[in-house]
Amino acid sequence: MLVIFGGSGDLTRRKLVPALLELSRQDLLPERFAVLGVGRTPYTDDSYREMLAGHLDGDKAFLRNLFYLSMDPGEKEDYGRLAARLSEISGERQTGSSYIFYLAVPPPLYTSIPAFLAEAGLISQEEGTWRRFIFEKPFGTDYRSARDLNETLLRCLTEDQIYRIDHYLGKETVQNLLVTRFSNGIFEPLWNRNYVHHVQITSSERIGVEKRGGYYDQAGALRDMLQNHLLQILGLIAMEPPTVISSDAIRNEILKVFQSFRPMKEREIRSQVIRGQYVSSVVQGESLKGYREEQDVPGESRTETFVAMKMYIDNWRWGGIPFYIRTGKRLPTRVTEVVVHFRPTPHTLFCKWDKGADNGNQLIIRIQPDEGILIQFGVKVQGAGFRVRDVEMDFHYKDLIDGRLPEAYQRLLLDCMQGDSTLFSRKDTVEAAWQFVDPILKAWESDPSIPLHGYPCGTWGPEAADRMIEGEVFTWRYPCRNMADEGEYCAL
């Protein structure tokens, strides 16, 4: 049985329950399966199903698997009622005594809910049964809080019961990073400092903070996106080949990457980390608010909505190679992609005809949207001389499958049911990521002279970020120059 704390919330309605429906339609759920939503909203089973029906295409057979208990997850006294309700549903539906507890709740409840469940006798694992806990981000707000949270949880849970979810790792194209690297002989020999000039990771959003200003102002782009999602992608890009495809083997290699991050000194933070905040502008005739004008955002806020970083991985494979990461809101398009820039040829034979020739090839791995892979290389332009033009060879996931790619939550929920933690973050990797970003956060908090650059909505962030990348001929890859180029997103 799946128990969702926050069962009446937005995540449950938009992502979790629809993902379960798709798993059911693919016959991937157990034959006897039930979902118990838990929350403060006073629903009955029937009114709960009615509320969710619109997100489930009115699938009446699946709706019968949904139940609801109105209770306060922060009140220890209510957990006796929860235990009775679980026993009642298990007996009625013959689901057995194995449970997944999904905590789609505010982080302050992450420690109290497991403790209350333990006191109610709901987390002990008898022979043939199990209890697993899925935690949404944010998992801590800095290194100390993440470490304290881990230590508190491990007083009543074991590490193999804890599934720290990162929905980016559930995306098919993120998982394909492993296959692209380790199943193709043409890529792996080149995947190192001898052939790679630098690597870019971009995750841009077209929207602003919407109605999440209160939360976002406490987080910012560094905590909200870079510390978790983008560093996890970097881990997959930079890791060594695992000995086998298993949860521990893969996560051990990712941890080694995180432990190899070169710590930033205070003086380096100014030049290697650029932060920005979007300001009002007119885009395609529409007036867009600046961040400080958004709902629940203080008028003097110094929270970053954009961050670009230059960092290094000090190990044998990547020594001296820069990795550039950027993420932001109110940028020209919605896109997440990895760009591997290979070194130019050692001798520029064709510069007589084309000064831009031999700038190096690119491998572009698009994670969202228009998922796919693109290789960029030079060919001769027809006619006299040896003018060189870049052309592209591409693959799109949409050409491989019928319909849409599966949602990330489908894969992650199924993996948790099967006890596969490969795509979930482990305690040591979470803490290692926070150890790397902590000095940056502390520098921003303690030194108000570090610039917070303004950038107009609909642009690619502060100009200072454009000057980060080394080499006269290299720059960020711009999928679209402005919002008018491709509409909602840019094709690969």
The residues annotated as belonging to the active site are: 229
Q: For the sheet containing 66-70, what is the strand order?
A: 66-70, 35-39, 2-5, 99-103, 131-135, 162-164
Residue 288 tokens, joined: 């867009």
Bridge partners (DSSP) of residue 204 are 328, 335
- The per-residue DSSP string of 421-446 comes to -TTSB-HHHHHHHHHHHHHHHHHHHH
Under 8 Å CB-to-CB from 150, ≥6 apart: which residues?
427, 430, 431
